[in-house]
Every structure is written in C-alpha cells, then in structure tokens.
Chains A and B, each alone.
Chain A
Amino acid sequence: MSVFVEVDHVGRTFPMPDGDRYIALKNIELKIKKGEFVTLIGHSGCGKSTLLNIIAGLDKATQGGVLLEGRQVTQPGPERMVVFQNYSLLPWLTVRENIALAVDEVMSDRPKGERRGVVEHHIDMVKLRHAADKRPGELSGGMKQRVAIARALSIRPKLLLLDEPFGALDALTRSGLQDQLMQICEENKTTCVMVTHDVDEALLLSDRVVMLTNGPESYIGQVLNIPFARPRHRLEVVKHPNYYSLRGEAVNFLNQQKRGKQRKVKQTAIARHGLEKVNLEIGFIPLTDCAPLVVAKEKGLFKKYGLDEVTLSREPSWKAIVEGVASRRLDAAQMTAGMPLTMTIGIDGKPPLPTVTALVLSRNGNAITLSKHLYNEGVRTLADFKAAITSSPDKIHTLGMVHPSSMHNLLLRYWLASGGIDPDLDVSLTVIPPPQMVANLKAGNIDGYCVGEPWNSRAVYEDLGFVIATDLDLWDGHVEKVLGVREDWANQNPQTHLALVKALMEACEYCDDHRNREEILELLCQPHYVGSAPEYTRPGFIDPYQRGTDAKPELLLRYNQFHIEKTNCPYRVEGLWILTQLARWGITPFPKNWIEVLDRVRRVDVFGEAARDLGMMDIEPDRGSIRLFDGTVFNPDDPISYLNSLKIKRDLRIQEITIDLEAEARGERLEARG
C-alpha cells in the first residue's frame, strides 16, 4: 500500500523567553499507510502531542513538513479531525448540537435531511441516544469523550488524530471506549494516529507503536510492529504469545528513557585508580555464555582491575543492547559477533555508529532446534527438513533467530543454504529475543530456531523440540559473543577499556576451567542473571549434551568455550567471514574498504596490550582459510570471489563504507548534549 501520511523530517523548535531555543522534536520521519493505526508513545514532555498537533496543522513544524496524500499540510482542516484529551466540546451546545455543528459545517453541500441522518447515526453509534439533548456539563467524562469521538467520526475524516483520548478516564470506562473505538475504526477503515502513555492501550489498538525518546531533541527511538490479527479482542490479544515480549520491549524502552533522564541529572563519570571511569553499566542477555560477565562481577574481578562500580544490566533483547550502547545508556555490552560491524556500517536505516570490540567473550555454544512436530514427521537431518518443506508447499516454516547480526542468523542461514534451502524464500526467519524462543515454539508461532544455551536444552527438557545440529557440527570454534563499546567511548576511556578487557579475560579463563563450572552454574541460575533452572542449564555446560533424539547424550567439552585455543582474540579473518555473510544475505553491503573497517572494529591492539599485561599469549590466530562443515573454503585474500562462488545468496552490493564524517558529527552532538 502506498504512503498515506508522510511526516517528513519534522523538527520543532520553540523560542524561549531568555532568547534561547528549545528543540522539542528533531528529524521525525514517519510514513503511515491508509487504514493503519499508529500510536505515539513516550514520557510526558517528549513532544508527542506537539507532533500530533503538527500533523493536525494546529502547530507548524520548524523544519520539514507533513504530507497527506502527497499534499502538504499547511492549516488545520476537517479531513484531519482531532479528538482532544479534554474533549473540547462546546458547553453551550447539547450533544446533538455539538455533533451537528461539525456535520453542518463540513457537509454543508449535502441536503439538510441527510445531515440530520448522519448526526443521529453517530449518536447511536456511540450509544448516547438517551443523552442526545443533554449538555456536556451533565455528562460523565466517558460520555463526553464518546461525543467527541462521534463528532470526529461524523465528518468522515481521512485521518483521525487522538490526543490521549482516554487519559482522564477510569479503567473500566477506558477499556469500554477502547473496544468501541477499535470496532468503529475497523468498520470505517479509518487511519488513526493516537498519542498515549499507556502501553497496553497502544498494543491493543495499534498496528505500529512509535516510541519517542525523551526531550529535548526527541526522535523516534524505536518502532514496534504489532502483528496481532484483526479484529482484535482484548483477551485474545493478551494471550498472544508475542504480547508480553512486545509489552516488555515497550516498557523497557520507556524505563530506559526514564533512567536516561535521571542519569543525565546525576551520573557523571567517577574517575579513580588512574581510570577515566569506574562506574560502568554493562548490558547482557540472559544466556549461558554471559558467564564471564557474571563471574567478573561476582568474583570481584572488575574490582581487582579498579572498576569499583560495575552494574550489569539484564537486557530484554539484542535490539535493546544496540539502543543502549548507541544512546550511551550502556558503557559496554555483551554483543553478538557481528554487532560491532553492523553498528559501524549501519543497518535498518540507522546511521553508522563506529563500535569496536577488543575481546571475544565466548566461542560455540549455539544449536539449531526444530519442533517436536517435525521430529515426529521423521525429520532427522537437514535433507529431511528440506523434504518436509517441499512436501508441504502451503505451510510456511518459520524459524527464529535473535538478531540479524548474530552468528545464529548467519550460521542458520549458512546451514539452510548448504542443504539447498533458501533462508529467505523457502522458509521465513523472524527475530525473537532468546528468552522468548521456547514460548514461541510452544505456541506454534515458529517451527524451530537457532539460539544460544540454555534455550535449546530447555526445549529439549520440556519435550517441545530436538536439536538437529549444534554449532560444533557446523564450525567448531566460531566466534560467538564479543565485548562491544562505542569507538568514541574507547577513545575517551582507553585505560578503562583496557581494565575492562583484562578483568573479563581473567573471568573467561576462570569460566573455562570445568572445575569451576558448578559454582558458575549456581551464579547463572540466579534470577537476576539467567534465572533458568539448573536442570536444563547443565547439559552442554557441565553435563553431557542431550539432543532430544535417540542419540546418546554426548559430553561436549568445547561447547561453551571461553578461553582456550585463543578464544579471546578478536582476529580479523573471522570478522571478514562475518562481513561476507552479512553481504551474502543483503543485511549490509560488502565494504570495498573491508580492511579499514575490520581494523577499526576489531581492536586486536587493545586485546594484545591486555594479554601482555596479564602475562597471557598475545597471538592472533593464523591468517589462514576457514573451512566449514560443508567443505567450502573461505579464502580471506579474495572475499569477492568467495561471495561470487556462493550459489544461494541475495544481490551483492559492494560499496565504499564511509563511516567517519556523519558518525563523528553525531558523536560530538551527543557529547554536547550530555
């Protein structure tokens, strides 16, 4: 469908009495399709009502503009009717007269009888027949808002704008009105933009939730697509398996914004022990391989290297990690192997943000799980899976992975492609945060997934799925999680960065010793870390790995590899492999200047310095070829011919990646603000 409303790089600046300027909105870009219900959500004062008023034409954008069906909005008009928060009914007119005022004015070309009919129809629609001759002063808040909605809908607006319409109502009235609004909008196919601060309301009503960051200079922080089928019913929506993960994302976003606001006020860098900053906030995802972070914290290794005040922040999704590091909420984070590269190059329309890694936190530890249904259909191998896909052309097999830049995505795609399955055409891949995988498999939303432990073992433990392949079968010793920080952060805090790498490297060494594993398991199972049950956290980590098939449990000593075999070095060749895979699947273009990109992102120099300080070996693994399970050889000297030799791939884009100018300008701006 074509774009119906286009909010084109809108900015709004208010002059202040002291001659200063207050930048409320900055560079807001939003395209709304016909019939879509979009919600703007954010904290008070984030400029969401201002944005709504600009769309309505009641306020003017300082920069950019709004297009409705390709025509610029210059003034308010009835085709963009507004439902105001405080109803804005005229108190000297009755319910009928209030609606008639709008109808008579807007539909003045229609005969009188028809206009009467429209008014009466809408009085009935909001069930206010009994109050038609009352004045607003005699009505309750809910009734008043119903009148306002009826007035707005009666003139058949192309776009309905609602400014916190239910904000002042009690919970019961609110839910009744939400249902009514939803029904009316679905019947009339009205395009709606609503401002609210109620996450549940947003999830129930909208197709997309647009979340604005805190002002000043608010921008669209994140957009959630709400996949629930219409017509929706309150109870069914809540039961949808994605409901709580979506709600979690929205709430988490708002909480982050709130924390960000508080941090702006209080948190400044605390310098101590010759380090630039000892109060660090480090993000992690609840997975077995977050063990080095947990160990460094719990065993006092951060403190040992002078980092006195490290807080580990449990993040709901990899997306939240990216946001957290980009917005400087997080100083550092556990990242998927490709994330520093994709952040540096920029994906999903995000501007490039140079990000570096100086430490690999873990290798291996992933598996591909398919649902028990497929097992019962006889799927045992990749070939069986392909057969199952071909034999049921009507069914779309959906597989979950955690982030486009993660090894789960890249390895899963590689594995599928090696079996002749095109990961974009033959199956559908969807992003789901790791802790949500099992729930989605259980709900039947997905047929399998590739994720780190303990989320494979949990599916096996609950008899929901079986492990068709571990990553040891695909590429033994592949890079899995890395420590990621912003490049400008690393440059501003070189000593802190070094101390952080050293502390984590020592933690990695500790984690790799199987004698320590029982103790680490106990730490991981605490609810504020992974919070998983030991029964399904042990396999692979301590106990023999169970695949949920007839195969005997197998002890995989190298399944979670934290230190041995040069684990910790972020060497460049594997980075190049990741770049080729990202390009292969069209996630990023392949950088013509890949040597420069890898040099900037994978900071082998920092790793080397840390290793030397610790008396560990500072050796980058051999610059050799990488050979995967399917026998394909990846030659790091000729990535382009490697890419060209691949059969299943998307159209290759090869281009020079210039990351400096815009990225640095952005960095400076953020500093000036911070």
Chain B
Amino acid sequence: MTTQLERRYKAKNKNNIGKVIQKQSKKIVPPLIAIALFLLIWQILCSSPDSNLPSPIKTFQDTWDPLIIDPFFDNGGTDKGLALQILASLGRVAIGFSLAAIVGIAVGIVVGSNNFIYNAVDPIFQVLRTVPPLAWLPISLAALRDANPSAIFVIFITSIWPIIINTTVGVQQIPQDYRNVAKVLRLRGAKYFFKILFPASVPYIFTGLRIGIGLSWLAIVAAEMLVGGVGIGFFIWDAWNSSSLSEIILALVYVGIVGLLLDRLVAFIASKVVPE
C-alpha cells in the first residue's frame, strides 16, 4: 500500500526523482559496501604468494577465459561451459522436483484429509525427513543401477517431505468456515476438492514447494559429486581433482545465485496463484 502510494507520488512529482533514488539507494548501497569489504579482506588475507586459497583477483584472472566469457562452450565429454553444466543440473532438479511435487501434494492431501492415515504415517514421515539426502544415494544406486536416475531419485526423496508435510497441514488447517459452507451446500467429491480443499490449502502447498526446491538444489550438488556426468556438482568435484580452486569458487558463486533464483521463482509463482 505504502509503496503504491510512493509510486503515485513519484509519478506526480518528477522533480523528486533524486529523492527516490536516494531512498532506493539505502537498499543497494549497504550490500555493495559489504561485498566490497568482504572482497577486500579476502584479498588481503590471500594475497601472499604461499597462500592456500586464491585471492579474488587471482580467481577472476584464472577463470576469465573461457569460463566467464563463454558459458556455452562444449568440448565434448564433461568439458562444457558453466551454463551448460548448470542447465544439466537444473534438468535433473526439474524432473525430480516435479515428481516430488506431484506425488507430495497428492499424498499430503490424502494424509491431511484422513485422520487415521495421518496418525499412521506421520511418525514414519518424521523419521524419514531427517535422513540426509546423500544417505539415500547408495540405496538408489543399488535399486536403479544407473547414475542419472539415482541423482533424480535423491532430488525427489529430499524435496518430497516438506511438500507432503506442508500439504497435510494445509488440508488440516482449512478454516472451519469453509468446511461449514461445504457441509451446508453438501459439496462433495471433485467439486469439494477443486472449489474448497485445493484453493484453501494452496498457501501451505507453496510453502512446502519453496522449502522443497531449496533442499533439492542443495542435494543435487552433493549427488552429482558422487555420480559424475555433466552437472555443476561434478564440475566442482572435477575442479577439485585438478586443483583449480578458482574454478570451484566461481562455481560456488553460480550455485548460490541459481539457488536464490529458484527460490524467488517459486515465491513469484505463489504470489500469482495464492489468493489474497
């Protein structure tokens, strides 16, 4: 509301643009200063020639060509640009996460709408959700006998728990008012599902999805390190083996930014879908 007012105010008083920039700069300048300070300290700490880690400037110099300037080069095998590596990882996440979302929401709705099932399976979920993602990898490798499906399975199994649990809560927390409306109108079956249950639990479902996407991005990097192939996780592992620390640092920055973007993407979709 206030921002809207501000915007209107801004449009009317173009002379005040300077002021607005000043205001906005309060949000931009401090992080810039923090980053600069961080880089500076890092530079100071790692500037001696016998330092174990590269300084920021050295990192930049090492990775400028070809990693930064050409993210799409493809020399065959696993020697590919960073963008291609990340896209490969994102592909796995997309498959695993989509499966987790579909299965998780379905299971969550079933569990949430039936108290008996909830009491039965909730303890199991609580145990399973605490299992670290990589602990699933040996089992999935044994079962699927292939690297790529195993990595996708790890994504799936990691992100499904928050989706199930939040959906369950969402269904259980449907306001009594809406339930009463449904009861009085005798809404049943598909109509109840699409008109009441699903819309009412959407906010909770999206909370689950947002946690899930974060977890799956965490898991993919670890999983790829182990299973190999094209992907940002294996790229990091590969760089470690060839002791090019600068490449690792660059990859970490990229992983962080992509994770942030994924989170924001889900949040953005939620803001469009969830009723106010």
Contact = CB atoms under 8 A, between A and B. Distances in A.
Interface in B173-223: 177-178, 180-181, 183-187, 191, 195-196, 199, 202
Contact of A82 (B184, B186, B195, B202): B184
B50 interface: no
Contact of B180 (A58, A77, A92, A105): A58
B276 interface: yes
B275 interface: yes
A86 interface: yes
A137 B183 contact: no
A212 B183 CA distance: 27
A102 B276 contact: no
A326 interface: no
Contacts of A81: 184
A137 B275 contact: yes
Given A105-B191, A135-B275, A137-B276, A90 B186 contact: no
Contacts of B191: 105
B276 A135 contact: yes
A78 interface: yes
A105 B186 contact: yes
A78 B187 contact: no
Nearest to A161: B184
Interface string A105-138: 1100000000000000000000000000001010
A82 B185 CA distance: 10
Given A86-B177, A90-B178, A58 B195 contact: no
A84 interface: yes
Contact of A101 (B177, B180, B185, B276): B185
Contacts of A155: 185
A601 to B, nearest CB: 51
B184 A101 contact: no
A623 B177 CA distance: 70
A137 B275 CA distance: 9
A146 interface: no
A86 B191 CA distance: 23
A80 B184 contact: yes
Contact of A105 (B178, B185, B199): B185
Interface string B143-155: 0000000000000
Interface in A164-196: none
Contacts of A86: 177
B193 to A, nearest CB: 13
A154 B180 CA distance: 17
A430 interface: no
A56 B186 CA distance: 12
A106 B177 contact: no
B276 A56 contact: no
B276 A91 contact: yes
Contacts of B202: 92
A260 to B, nearest CB: 31
Interface residues of B, number: 16
B270 to A, nearest CB: 14
A306 interface: no
Interface string A44-66: 00000000000011100000000
A88 interface: yes
Interface string B66-92: 000000000000000000000000000
Interface residues of A, number: 24
Interface in B40-60: none
A195 to B, nearest CB: 14
A88 B187 CA distance: 15
A78 B184 contact: yes
Nearest to B276: A137
B1 to A, nearest CB: 13
Indicate the member of A91, A135, A155 with the most B CB atoms within 10 Å. Answer: A91
Contacts of A135: 275-276
A669 to B, nearest CB: 34
Nearest to A91: B275
Interface string A368-409: 000000000000000000000000000000000000000000
Interface in B232-276: 275-276
B178 A76 contact: no
A92 B185 contact: no
Contact of B181 (A75, A90, A137): A90
B195 A101 contact: yes
A92 B185 CA distance: 17
A91 B178 CA distance: 10
Indicate the member of A56, A105, A106, A135 with the most B CB atoms within 10 Å. Answer: A105
Contacts of A106: 185-186
B180 A88 contact: yes
B185 A78 contact: yes
A105 B183 contact: no
Contacts of B276: 91, 135, 137
Contacts of B180: 58, 76, 82, 84, 88
Contact of A90 (B183, B184, B195): B195
B177 A88 contact: yes
A77 B275 contact: no
A90 B200 CA distance: 9
A481 B186 CA distance: 59
Contacts of B185: 78, 101-102, 105-106, 155
A169 to B, nearest CB: 17
A671 B196 CA distance: 49
A183 B245 CA distance: 80
A556 to B, nearest CB: 66
A90 B195 CA distance: 9
B199 A90 contact: yes
Contacts of A58: 180, 183-184
A90 B187 CA distance: 13
Given A88-B178, A91-B276, A105-B191, A76 B183 contact: yes
Nearest to A56: B184
Nearest to A105: B185
Interface in B96-147: none
A276 to B, nearest CB: 49
B181 A78 contact: no
A154 to B, nearest CB: 11
Contacts of A57: 183
Indicate the member of B185, B191, B199 with the most A CB atoms within 10 Å. Answer: B185
Contacts of A101: 185, 187, 195
Contacts of B177: 84, 86, 88
A106 B276 CA distance: 27
A283 B196 CA distance: 56
B183 to A, nearest CB: 4
B272 to A, nearest CB: 13
Nearest to B202: A92
11 contacts: A57-B183, A76-B184, A78-B185, A82-B180, A88-B180, A101-B187, A105-B187, A106-B186, A135-B276, A137-B276, A155-B185
Interface of A: 56-58, 75-78, 80-82, 84, 86, 88, 90-93, 101-102, 105-106, 135, 137, 155
8 interchain residue pairs of minimum CB distance: A88-B177, A92-B275, A92-B199, A76-B183, A76-B184, A137-B276, A91-B275, A105-B185
Interface of B: 177-178, 180-181, 183-187, 191, 195-196, 199, 202, 275-276
Given A82-B184, A88-B180, A105-B191, 11 more contacts: A58-B184, A76-B180, A76-B186, A88-B181, A92-B202, A101-B185, A101-B195, A102-B185, A105-B187, A106-B186, A135-B276
